[in-house]
Amino acid sequence: MRYFFSLCLYMMFMNNHAQNIKDYYEIGEYAKAVAAFSKIDNPTTEDRIVLAKVYAAKGMTLECMQTYNDALIETKKSDFLKSKFQYAKILQTQNKLAKADSIYSALLEIMPEHAEILYQKGKIAKAYEKLAYHQYFLDALLYDQTHIKAAHEASRYFMEVDNLKMAKNICLKTLKKVPNTPRLINLLAQIHYREEDYKTSLAYIQELETLKTDLPKFIYEIKGNNYSKLGLYKDALSAYEQAFKKGNKDYVLALKIAEISIQLDKFDKASKYLMIYRMFKDTSMWEFNYLMARVNMHRKNYRMAFYEFQKAYNENVNHEASLYYRAVAADNFMEDKSKALDYYTNYIETYEDEKGAKFIELALRREAEIRRTLFMQE
Q: Where are the chain's structural domains?
A: 1-112, 197-282, 284-378
pLDDT score, position 10: 40
Long-range contacts of 253-259 (CB under 8 A, 24+ apart): 253/221, 254/280, 255/281, 255/287, 255/288, 255/291, 256/224, 258/291, 259/291
Domains 197-282 and 284-378 share a fold: yes
Q: Give the pTM.
A: 0.64
Question: How far from 270 is each of 106, 254, 257, 280, CA to CA, in Å?
Answer: 61, 9, 7, 16
The hierarchical CATH code for the domain 197-282 is: 1.25.40.10
> At how many degrees (to 10) do helices 217-229 and 251-263 cross?
30
pLDDT score, position 290: 92
Question: How far from 214 is each of 14, 65, 178, 299, CA to CA, in Å?
Answer: 39, 39, 21, 38
Is residue 47 within 8 Å of 75, Cβ to Cβ? Answer: no
pLDDT score, position 6: 44
pLDDT in tens, 295-310: 999 999 999 999 999 9
pLDDT score, position 215: 86
Domain 284-378, classified CATH 1.20.1250.20, yes or no: no
CATH superfamily for domain 1-112:
Tetratricopeptide repeat domain (1.25.40.10)
Largest CA distance in the chain: 122
pLDDT score, position 41: 80
Low-confidence ranges of the chain (pLDDT < 70): 1-19, 71-80, 282-283, 378
> At how many degrees (to 10) do helices 233-245 and 251-263 cross?
150
Three-state DSSP at 5 gives helix
pLDDT score, position 301: 94
Return the beta strands (E) in the chain as ranges: none
